[in-house]
């Protein structure tokens, strides 16, 4: 399994719940999350996807912390189980 499989599962599960999962392209912001998840019953969730066992790199961790300081919810997911836990 690789990051692409986890990303596909996230997109499918969010859609099944009636939400939207958008791939995000950032201009001038190195290290920002890959996806924006929007669900009818929750506020937006920024998701950084990683291959199993991988962690966010230091520059990504810094960007995630900047976003959290602005009140944003940012999660790093490296497994199908992580996707399921997020959407539970």
So what's the pLDDT on residue 26?
A: 85
72 is written with which tokens?
């944003």
pLDDT of residue 83: 98
What's the whole-number mean pLDDT along residues 57-81? 97
Position 3 scores a pLDDT of: 94
For domain 3-87, the CATH class is alpha beta
CA 38-30-28 angle, 5° bins:
90
Q: Among residues 25, 1, 21, 24, which one has the least CA distance to residue 11?
A: 21
pLDDT digits (tens, 9 = 90+) for 7-63: 999 999 999 999 999 999 888 888 899 999 999 988 999 999 999 999 999 999 999
């Amino acid at each position: 399994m690789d990051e692409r499989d986890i990303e596909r599962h996230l997109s499918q599960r969010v859609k099944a719940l009636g939400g939207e999962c958008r791939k995000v392209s950032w201009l001038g912001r190195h290290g920002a999350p890959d996806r924006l998840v929007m669900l009818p019953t929750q506020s937006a969730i920024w998701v950084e996807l990683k291959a199993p066992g991988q962690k966010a790199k230091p520059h990504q961790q810094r960007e995630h912390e900047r976003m959290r300081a602005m009140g944003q919810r940012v999660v790093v997911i490296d497994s199908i189980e992580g996707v399921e836990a997020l959407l539970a």
